[in-house]
Structure 1
Amino acid sequence: MSQPNGGTFDIVILGAGSGGYAAALRAAELNLSVALIDKAEVGGTCLHRGCIPTKALLHAAEIADQTRESEQFGVKADLVGIDMAGVNAYKDGVVGRLYKGLQGLLGHNKNITLVAGAGKLVSRDTVEVNGQRYTGRNIILATGSYSRTLPGLEIDGTRVIASEHALKLNRVPSSAIVLGGGVIGVEFASVWKSFGADVTIVEALPRLVAAEDEEISKTVERAFRKRKINFKVGKPFEKVEKTENGVRVTIAGGETLEAEVLLVAVGRGPSTAGLGYEEQGLTLERGFVIVNERLHTGVGNIYAVGDIVPGLQLAHRGFQQGIFVAEEIAGKNPAVIDEAGIPRVTYSDPEIASVGLTEARAKERYGADKVTSYNYNLGGNGKSQILKTAGFVKLVRVEDGPVVGVHMVGARMGELVGEAQLIYNWEAFPEEVAQLVHAHPTQNEALGEAFLALAGKPLHAHS
């Protein structure tokens, strides 16, 4: 990053992660001058410590599983072992190439000034960095998130680790306890099991991936049992002790578990402390910046996007919010983002993809007697049989109305969520989607078949 000497801009953006850099690029397209400030690398958590490196590990894990199971496809291969140096080189190579591309994209844009350093909001229109002041006719706060822990649970980076430490491990732990059965927890549990570790997930809530539809949770739990990934649900954490070879974790009921490492995956907190937000009159709740539906903070011309705003902490949410605010500032009057219409993917094995409301949430909103659902089993899908994957596509519909939720579990389901997102966001009726032609043989047909069945004309399924 460059180090200019302050100045005045149309927009000053604090934070160059997904939300910040998307806002900068869109604003620059709209011919607005931008100062983009970050204390670390452009790309933020997603590129360097989150989405991209974890998915690289998950792909390596998939290759390991395919090698281990290759004989069932008539291919004889031996899995000699996991070379973590090689895996990390592959992972870091992916991150490096994307980082270089993003640096070039931002750095060569004449409307964007990159500023390296820890910024602080010192007035309603000014951010100070390294003693220099950057004044913005508008301010966008996009300072991201950090790995949370629990009271009394200290992350030391060696035996008790967070996701950023797990991404840098130069070995496969022989055993691991994963504290948290949400997205981060089940993804790392899936990776380590594929790499050969003994894994146990501890989750205080009554089921894994509790934010997803309950039937998704049941399927994931069944698949994890089959994979011999251990899990304890409804078991809050009590304490951790260091042992000679690792850690000893005590959970509710006095039960103890031992492993080489404990991964703390209890969610991410908003990075807002000490940045001057409250001093300038912004409203914070549990550290999150409160905004209206147009992402305005209610103070001056200050907006907030991404993980510091209450809601789903997803890179693509921040990305879309950044674009929205840039267009809002430019007077384009963009449509308000529907939070339920943001697709959600968990890249474990099996993979989870969803958009819209769960069946339980839909019944709360519309009434239990107004909501119907339909499950299409992947056993009836040709490509899923070829891939030897199990799972389902579930549709949630309001009576005589549109589909308000699509929930999928099985191999490669994340690749189907694009069509599901369009169906939800366009408030499509089953009868409308049933008219669309889906290529054969693809897993995409599973969506088509589900909608045919919901429209009352099932082919490879029972209505």
Structure 2
Amino acid sequence: MREYDIAILGGGSGGYVAAIRAAKMGVSVALIEKDKVGGTCLNRGCIPTKVMIEAGHRYNIALNSSEYGVDIRDAEFNYKRMLKTREEVVKTLRDGVLHLLKKLKVDLIEGYGELTSENTIMVDGVEEIRANNIILATGSKPSSLPGLEIDNKYILTSDDILELEKPPARLIVVGAGAIGCEFAYIFANIGVKVYLVELLDRAIPGSDKRASRVIASKLKSLGVKLSTETTIKRWTKKDGCLEATLEDGIVIEAECILLSVGRVPNTDSFSNIGGIKLNNGGFVETDEYLHTGCGNIYAIGDILPRPMLAHKAFYEGVIAVENILGYKRKVRYDIIPSVVYTIPEIAQVGPTEDELKESGYEYTTSTFHFRALGRALAMGETDGFVKIISGADGRILSGTIVGLSAGELIGEISLAILSEMKADEFKDLVHSHPTLSEATGEALWGLSERMIHSL
């Protein structure tokens, strides 16, 4: 039996980061993973889809650059070549993680791990690992809907669609959240006829309403047919394809249906341990230190009842390790941004304006549009805005950015929230000109009535 200071069950985003942090802090670490290190994000999610988004964006630019004096309207999209690049990027990153783990002397144990007690994990039913502390980081898997059971041929998950060797001619995407909109954008950009179906009243339902409108407009400009407040009532196979009927009677023909209706936590590997509590949604309950309340067991990542984001898992992985080693760090979920990687992107941190209204919170908003921004005009990327909200005391509460590179710009607002900064403190903040970041500066100035390039 091998013994460790910390054993981590799951080598995805949170798990491998926790292993690296623990090893750098001088403790012995085992990382147990049944598949590929990096988990969903690196292998089947964040990274491969970003290559696809970039490929489609470059293709779209090629077709629409004549006004910049570049005429290559006969450009062709090579899906197979894009897949090769995608796999090269994923492999480079995965090999980098494996190299770090090896150099830091983390024991990577390949196999299915199952928690058998507060201090032991059985791997593939044959090897027992003992640890003084355990971190659960088992991730999540795509969920399905009644009547739309996944068959990996007609009804696909986000994992399945990445395995396609060529794009479908027509695609129905069920669910217009972040994953659904990203895939709709990816495939519409390369000429696929995309139908996007959402049960709620708008795309990206949890985001700022104005942000939803911008993304819906962009998707429609690419030819995406967006149907809201409806879902698929029934579907049948038809001549090697399928025919789907929506609740409002609309009939759609397509090669396949992509389900993007969320994910469910993987908890089977520790469901027999009674001290670990799950909520009604099947997520692990922890305190603000990520401790499960069961022995020395901590939990991080997608198995927790909060947004399933890789960077959240990274953050939790570091905090769980540091708390095991006595740091007593509390998790701050209010400073974790989320990003939808369509183009334009949507980046958001803190509560939306609707959420503040519902809570009765007194607030002030300031919005600056990309169309008044020199760099955005020069780049031909004028869709979007920066919206920042402050409380009655002037402290920055939240922000929404819609536009090119929104995910790169949102960090400044996260830092303002973390530092409890007030709008007035930004009066001497100067952004380089011309840059997209000036939009953030103008919106911050607007909170104290100092905005320059807008009335």
TM-score scaled by length of structure 2: 0.97
Counterpart in the other structure of 1:3:
none
How far apart are 1:79 and its partner, in Å? 4.0
Counterpart in the other structure of 1:437:
430
**Residue 459, structure 1, aligned to residue 452, structure 2:** yes
Q: Which moved more, 1:248-257 or 1:317-326?
A: 248-257
**Residue 373, structure 1, aligned to residue 365, structure 2:** yes
State the distance in 1 between where 2:74 and 2:134 align: 53
State the distance in 2 between where 1:378 and 1:278 align: 53
Q: Which moved more, 1:76-85 or 1:87-96?
A: 76-85
Q: Is the 8 A contact 1:180 1:202 kept in 2?
A: yes
Counterpart in the other structure of 1:62:
57
How far apart are 1:362 and its partner, in Å? 1.9
Superposed CA deviations along residues 286-313 of structure 1, whole A, max 9, x for unmatched, are 2211111111111111110000000010
> Which blocks of at least 5 consecutive residues in structure 1 are unaligned?
1-5
Q: Is the 8 A contact 2:389 2:398 kept in 1?
A: yes
- Write the letter of the residue equivalent to 2:232: F
**1:34-433, aligned counterparts within 5 Å?**
34-110=29-105, 112-130=106-124, 131-273=126-268, 275-285=269-279, 286-334=281-329, 336-365=330-359, 367=360, 370-389=362-381, 390-433=383-426
Superposed CA deviations along residues 340-382 of structure 1, whole A, max 9, x for unmatched, are 21011111122111111100112233x25x1221211111111
Superposed CA deviations along residues 185-229 of structure 1, whole A, max 9, x for unmatched, are 000000101110111100001111011111111221122222221
Q: Secondary structure at the match of 2:146?
A: coil
State the distance in 2 between where 1:79 and 1:387 align: 22
Q: Is the 8 A contact 2:289 2:328 kept in 1?
A: no
Superposed CA deviations along residues 46-76 of structure 1, whole A, max 9, x for unmatched, are 1100100000100001101110111121111
RMSD between superposed Cα atoms in Å: 1.3
Query: CA 1:434–1:200 in 2, change beyond 3 Å: closer, same or farther?
Result: farther
How far apart are 1:439 and its partner, in Å? 0.6
Q: Which moved more, 1:80-89 or 1:140-149?
A: 80-89
Q: Which moved more, 1:72-81 or 1:24-33?
A: 72-81
Counterpart in the other structure of 2:22:
27
Q: Is the 8 A contact 1:125 1:139 kept in 2?
A: yes
Superposed CA deviations along residues 62-98 of structure 1, whole A, max 9, x for unmatched, are 1011101111211111343221110000100000111
How far apart are 1:278 and its partner, in Å? 4.0
> Which blocks of at least 5 consecutive residues in structure 2 are unaligned?
none
Q: Is the 8 A contact 2:344 2:403 kept in 1?
A: yes
- Write the letter of the residue equivalent to 1:18: S
State the distance in 1 between where 2:234 and 2:334 align: 36
Q: Is the 8 A contact 1:88 1:168 kept in 2?
A: no
Q: Is the 8 A contact 1:393 1:447 kept in 2?
A: yes
How far apart are 1:330 and its partner, in Å? 0.9
Q: Secondary structure at the match of 1:96?
A: helix
- Write the letter of the residue equivalent to 2:345: E
- Write the letter of the residue equivalent to 2:276: L
State the distance in 2 between where 1:58 and 1:412 align: 13
State the distance in 2 between where 1:450 and 1:393 align: 6
- Write the letter of the residue equivalent to 2:119: D
TM-score scaled by length of structure 1: 0.95
State the distance in 2 between where 1:402 and 1:408 align: 18
Superposed CA deviations along residues 109-162 of structure 1, whole A, max 9, x for unmatched, are 22x211000000111111000311111111100000101111232222222211
State the distance in 1 between where 2:249 and 2:57 align: 36
State the distance in 2 between where 1:345 and 1:300 align: 35
